[in-house]
């Protein structure tokens, strides 16, 4: 019982056998328990809602946007609709270029737009 009490209250001198045993047990707990016990701290999948525009900053004043294809309606030109979509989010910007994003089978999933202020 005295041994357990001395471990619990950490009464051993630094460099002694019992001190080294305690440090080893603590380090083993830190490094081995994540492999044994699931703490639930894994990266979460992208939680952006469907139909939202994703904005990335590429540099000072340089922005890139990912606009889903569902935001583009037939009728008006794609350029004009893309420009309206990004200006609704970022205010007045100049659209440099855009790239069509497609699935492997060719279905258009969205557009990547580069713009600057």
Render pLDDT for 50-85 as a digit per residue (tens, 0 to 9).
678 888 888 888 889 999 998 888 877 898 999 988
Residue 11 in domain: yes
Domain count, the chain: 2
Q: How far apart are CA 61 and CA 41, in angstroms?
A: 34
Residues 91 and 65 in one domain: yes
Convert the pLDDT of each residue in 36-46 to its tens digit: 887 777 666 66
Residues 63 and 24 in one domain: no
pTM value > 0.85: no
- Domain span holding position 29: 2-36
Q: What phi and psi, each to the nearest 5 degrees, are found at residue 29?
A: -60, -45
Residues 58 and 27 in one domain: no
Residue 107 in domain: yes
The pLDDT value recorded for residue 50 is 66
> What stretch of H or E contains 28?
helix 17-36
Residue 41 in domain: no
Residue 43 in domain: no
**How far, CA to CA in Å, does 32 sit from each of 7, 27, 43?**
21, 8, 20
Q: Contact, 70 vs 51, CB < 8 A?
A: yes
């Amino acid at each position: 019982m005295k041994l357990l009490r001395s471990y619990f209250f950490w009464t051993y001198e630094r460099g002694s056998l019992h001190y080294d045993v305690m440090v080893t047990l603590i380090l083993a707990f830190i490094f081995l328990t994540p492999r044994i016990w699931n703490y639930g701290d894994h990266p979460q999948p992208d939680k952006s809602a469907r139909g939202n525009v994703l904005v990335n900053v590429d540099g000072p004043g340089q922005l890139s946007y990912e606009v889903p294809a569902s935001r583009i309606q037939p009728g008006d030109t794609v350029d004009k609709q893309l420009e309206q979509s990004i200006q609704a989010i970022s205010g007045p910007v100049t659209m440099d270029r855009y790239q069509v994003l497609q699935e492997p089978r060719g279905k258009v999933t969205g557009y990547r737009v580069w713009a600057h202020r």
